[in-house]
C-alpha cells in the first residue's frame, strides 16, 4: 500500500457496514420512537446485545448497578450514548475478536477507543460550539484506520512500527514513510466509503494534526486532546510510543481550560482504578 489510491482499492475489499450498524444509523434522533426502535434493533441479536452490555458496564462510568438489558441502558445513559456505543461494537466486530500476532490484545484497543470517546464527550459537554455525542462518536472511532491496517496490511504496519522504533518518530510519521499514508487518513477514507457525515470523518482524518482541519476543527481538537491525554494517563492501545505534544493553539482554541481537562482525565483514571479494585464488580 504505497498511496491512497491503492489503499482505497484495498478498502473496497472490506466487508460492508454491518446491517445492524446501518439500522442503528438510520434510527432518527427522536427521543421517544428513536429509543424504542433502538432497543428493538439491538435486542434482536443476543450476542450483539451481550457485547454491547459488556461495554456499557465499563469501569469508566462507576454505575451504581450492573445494567442487564438495553432498555435499562437507554434509560440510564441516554439513547444517543447507547446508539454510538452500539455502532462502535458493530464496527469493531467486523475486524474480528483477536488481534494479529505481535499486536496488543484487541481489548486494549477497545479500552483506548472508549476512553478517548468518553473524554472527548466530557470535553464536548463543556464546549458550547460542539455536539458532545458527536465528539464521543469521533473519539470512539478515531483509530479505526489502525484496525484496517492490522487486518488488511499487517506487513506495512510492521514496517511502520520498525521505523517508529528505530528512528524514534511518532507512528503517523512512520506510517507516512512506510506506506505514504496514515491510520488517520485510512480511517477517514473508510468512513467516507460508508457515507458517514463529515463531522465524524474530518476529526478522524486530522486527529494527529488538528490545526490543519478545515471542517469541524473544534471536534478535531477535542479528539486530538482526548487521545493525547488518554495516552499520557495509561489508556493506551497497549504499546507505549512517543506521543508528540500538541501545539499550544490546539489547547487555547477550546473554551475548556487545560487544567480542567487534566482533572477530567485524572478523574477517569481514578474511577477505572477504583472499579478495578472492587474486583471488576460487574465481571
Q: Is the dihedral of CA 40, 124, 137, 217 positive or negative?
A: positive
Cell triple for 22: 446501518
Nearer to Fe ion, 51 or 227 (CB): 227
Q: Is 227 in the site for Fe ion (CB under 5 A)?
A: yes
Q: How far is the CB of 227 from Fe ion (least distance, A)?
A: 4
**Would you say the C-alpha torsion 149, 155, 158, 164 has a positive or negative sign?**
negative
Minimum distance of Fe ion from residue 114's CB (angstroms): 11
Least CB distance from residue 158 to Fe ion, whole Å?
17
Query: Within a 10 A sphere around the Cβ of 175, how many other Cβ atoms?
Result: 29
Q: How many residues bind Fe ion (CB under 5 A)?
A: 2
Query: Counting every residue, how long is the chain?
Result: 283
Cβ distance to Fe ion smaller for residue 58 or 227? 227
Which DSSP state fits 211? Answer: G
Say which residues have a Cβ less than 8 Å from residue 39's Cβ, sequence separation at least 6. Answer: 70, 71, 74
Residue 134, C-alpha cell as written in the block = 458527536
Closest to Fe ion by CB, 227 or 229: 227
Q: Among residues 85 and 227, whose Cβ is nearest to Fe ion?
A: 227
Please identify, using beta-carbon distances, which residue of 35 and 147 lies nearer to Fe ion.
147
Shortest gap between Cβ of 19 and Fe ion (angstroms)?
Answer: 28
Between 20 and 123, CB nearer to Fe ion: 123
Compute and round to an integer the Cα radius of gyration of the chain: 18
CB 236, min distance to Fe ion, A: 8
Q: What letter would DSSP give residue 179?
A: H
Out of 133, 143, 150, 156, the residue judged to bind Fe ion by CB under 5 A: 143
Q: How far is the CB of 33 from Fe ion (least distance, A)?
A: 35
The beta strands (E) that lie in 84-218 are given as none
Binding part of the chain for Fe ion, among 87-95, 123-131, 186-194, 219-227 by CB under 5 A, reads: 219-227
Angle at 190 between CA 19 and CA 146, to 5 degrees: 110
Q: Residues in the site for Fe ion, rule: CB under 5 A?
A: 143, 227
Amino acid at each position: 500500500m504505497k498511496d491512497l489510491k491503492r489503499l482505497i482499492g484495498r478498502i473496497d475489499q472490506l466487508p460492508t457496514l454491518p446491517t445492524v450498524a446501518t439500522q442503528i444509523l438510520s434510527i432518527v434522533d427522536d427521543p421517544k420512537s428513536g429509543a424504542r426502535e433502538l432497543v428493538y434493533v439491538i435486542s434482536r441479536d443476543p450476542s450483539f446485545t451481550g457485547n454491547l452490555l459488556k461495554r456499557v458496564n465499563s469501569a469508566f462510568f462507576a454505575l451504581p448497578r450492573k445494567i442487564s438489558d438495553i432498555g435499562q441502558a437507554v434509560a440510564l445513559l441516554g439513547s444517543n450514548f447507547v446508539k454510538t456505543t452500539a455502532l462502535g461494537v458493530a464496527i469493531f466486530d467486523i475486524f474480528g475478536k483477536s488481534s494479529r500476532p505481535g499486536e496488543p490484545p484487541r481489548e486494549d484497543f477497545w479500552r483506548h477507543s472508549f476512553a478517548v470517546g468518553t473524554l472527548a464527550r466530557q470535553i464536548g459537554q463543556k464546549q458550547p460550539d460542539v455536539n458532545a455525542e458527536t465528539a464521543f462518536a469521533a473519539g470512539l472511532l478515531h483509530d479505526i484506520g489502525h484496525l484496517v491496517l492490522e487486518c488488511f496490511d499487517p506487513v506495512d504496519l510492521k514496517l511502520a512500527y520498525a521505523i517508529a522504533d528505530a528512528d524514534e518518530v511518532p507512528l503517523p510519521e512512520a506510517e507516512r514513510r512506510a506506506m505514504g499514508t496514515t491510520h488517520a487518513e485510512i480511517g477517514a477514507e473508510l468512513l467516507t466509503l460508508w457515507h458517514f457525515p463529515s463531522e465524524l470523518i474530518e476529526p478522524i482524518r486530522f486527529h494527529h494534526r488538528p490545526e490543519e482541519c478545515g471542517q469541524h476543527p473544534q471536534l478535531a481538537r477535542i479528539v486530538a486532546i482526548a487521545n493525547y491525554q488518554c495516552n499520557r494517563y495509561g489508556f493506551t492501545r497497549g504499546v507505549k510510543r512517543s506521543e508528540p505534544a500538541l501545539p499550544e493553539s490546539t489547547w487555547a482554541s477550546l473554551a475548556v481550560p487545560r487544567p480542567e481537562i487534566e482533572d477530567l482525565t485524572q478523574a477517569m483514571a481514578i474511577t477505572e482504578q477504583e472499579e478495578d479494585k472492587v474486583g471488576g464488580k460487574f465481571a
